[in-house]
């Protein structure tokens, strides 16, 4: 099958190349006859199917000459003491066993692909590896009697120039400053917001107190109230000075003592809560519901417009929808232009 297809490809290429010499042509013609017969045979067997036949390449084979690599390695290696090479092989360092367990759990959760694209995690891995190597290598160097740390008074040329390091420092300081500034601004903004809220609340509270006082004074004047009541009201915290209806226990007492037995029984007998009247009446929705049968002509014609809120309510809604600030409006404008 594969050979026949390859021949097909060859055949096509032969047809394309017309400038070839005669000899080549004749040979190719013979070949093509040959392949034609083969193709016919293949077709008869049903191996060939109509459509474009394209030669397919197998999966790319990659060379991995292990013995060659080992040979090259043996050739390359030199018998040098460690001090010449300073190489370490290390896994990342972990501080404690608890840490280790945690990490393992994390490893289970995260796939390695995630690790690669997460900058922080990836760099942390390299950092840890470096740390482990440093912790191992430095004592080893010290054991060999070599100085590892540069003394303070040892001056020499550095890899990065002083000017460059100045730039780095400047950038670091600048970054810190911007962070501080933004944090300060954030704090101020929050304080401002909060302060405003408190101010508003205090104002409302004062107004309320004043109102209540005036009312109670009025009532007292009319003789509806005892003088004592006002004083009590004044003593009590403002806001709790509700005068309940007679005979109806207020929430406070219900919470404290619970409902009476008589009340409970009556609630049970007569039912409590929920709307009782008008449940069988039509509403807008039920009138429009066609599944229930005939609907009125008006509803059929006007349909959904009936469900819009009334004009009065619409006006109210409009009032509630505030006009956005200038910056917002400009932003919206510019977006529209784009």
Partner 1 sequence: MVKRKAQEMLMRHKRRRKTNQAAHEATKTATDKTSQLSRTWMNKQRVLVFAARGVSYRGRHLMLDLRTLMPHSKADVKMNSRAGMFQINEICDMKNCNKCVFFECRKKKDLFMWFANVPHGPSAKFLIENLHTMSELKLTGNCLRGARPILSFGKEFDEEPHYQLLKELFIQIFSTPNLHPKSQPFFDHMYTFSVLDNRIWFRNYQILEEDGSLVEIGPRFCLNLIRIFKGSIGGPTLYENPKYISPNEQRRFLKKQLALKFQDRKESMKGREERRLTETYKMDNLDEVFHTIRPEDAKGSEKLTFFRKTATGAGSRGKKKKTQDGNQ
Q: How many residues bind partner 1 (CB under 8 A)?
A: 65
CA distance linking residue 38 with residue 4, whole number of Å: 7
Minimum CB–partner distance for residue 138 and partner 1 (Å) = 5
Do 137 and 88 touch, CB atoms closer than 8 A?
Answer: yes
Residues 253-292, one symbol each (x = binds partner 1 by CB under 8 A, - = not), give ----------------------------------------
Q: Which is nearer to partner 1, 43 or 127 (CB)?
A: 127
Coil, helix or strand at residue 86? coil
| Residue listed under structure tokens 């193709």 | 39
If the CB atoms of residues 149 and 319 are measured against partner 1, the closer one turns out to be: 149
First to last CA, the chain: 59
- Look at residues 304, 312, 311, 308 and name the one whose alpha carbon lies nearest to residue 287: 304
Determine which residue in the list 11, 134, 213, 299 makes contact with partner 1, applying CB under 8 A: 134
> For the window 214-253, what string marks contact with partner 1 as x by the rule CB under 8 A?
----------------------------------------
Chain Cα centroid distance, residue 105: 22
How many angstroms separate the CA atoms of 50 and 61, rounded?
Answer: 30
Q: Mask: binding to partner 1, 30-69, rule CB under 8 A, as x and -?
A: ------------------------------x-xxxxx-xx
User: For residue 287, which of 269, 303, 272, 267 has the smallest C-alpha distance?
Assistant: 303
CA distance 297 to 302: 8
Angle (CA) 52 54 60, round 5°: 155
Q: In angstroms, what is the minimal distance from the CB of 160 to partner 1?
A: 5
**Position 306 contacts partner 1 (CB under 8 A):** no
- Could you list the residues that contact partner 1 (CB under 8 A)? 60, 62-66, 68-70, 72-73, 75-78, 80-81, 83-91, 93, 112-113, 115-116, 122, 125-127, 129-135, 137-138, 141, 144-150, 154, 156-160, 164-165, 167-168, 171-172, 301
């Amino acid at each position: 099958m594969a050979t026949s297809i390859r021949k097909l490809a060859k055949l096509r290429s032969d047809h394309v190349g017309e400038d070839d010499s005669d000899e080549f042509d004749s040979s190719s013609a013979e070949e093509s006859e040959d392949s034609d017969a083969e193709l016919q045979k293949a077709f008869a067997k049903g191996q060939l199917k109509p459509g474009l036949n394209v030669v397919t390449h197998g999966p790319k084979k990659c060379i991995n000459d292990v013995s060659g690599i080992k040979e090259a390695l043996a050739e390359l290696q030199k018998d040098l003491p460690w001090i010449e090479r300073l190489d370490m092989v290390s896994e990342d360092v972990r501080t404690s066993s608890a840490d280790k367990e945690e990490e393992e759990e994390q490893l289970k959760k995260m796939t390695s692909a995630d690790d690669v694209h997460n900058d922080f995690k990836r760099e942390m891995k390299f950092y840890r590896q470096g740390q482990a190597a440093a912790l191992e290598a430095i004592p080893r160097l010290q054991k060999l009697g070599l100085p590892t740390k540069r003394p303070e008074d040892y001056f020499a040329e550095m890899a990065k120039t002083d000017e460059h390091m100045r730039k780095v420092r400047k950038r670091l300081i600048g970054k810190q400053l911007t962070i501080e500034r933004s944090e300060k601004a954030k704090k101020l903004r929050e304080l401002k917001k909060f302060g405003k809220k408190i101010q508003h609340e205090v104002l409302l509270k004062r107004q309320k107190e004043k109102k209540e006082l005036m009312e109670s004074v009025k009532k007292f004047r009319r003789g509806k109230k005892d003088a004592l009541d006002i004083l009590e009201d004044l003593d009590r915290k403002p806001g709790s000075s509700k005068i309940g209806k007679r005979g109806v226990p207020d929430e406070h007492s219900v919470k404290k003592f619970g409902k009476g037995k008589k009340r409970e029984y009556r609630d049970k007998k007569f039912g409590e809560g929920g709307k009782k009247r008008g449940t069988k009446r039509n509403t807008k929705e039920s009138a429009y519901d066609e599944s229930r049968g005939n609907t009125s002509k008006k509803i059929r014609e006007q349909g959904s417009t009936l469900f819009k809120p009334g004009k009065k309510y619409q006006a109210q809604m409009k009032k509630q929808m505030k006009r956005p600030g200038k910056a917002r409006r400009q932003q919206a404008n510019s977006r529209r232009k784009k």
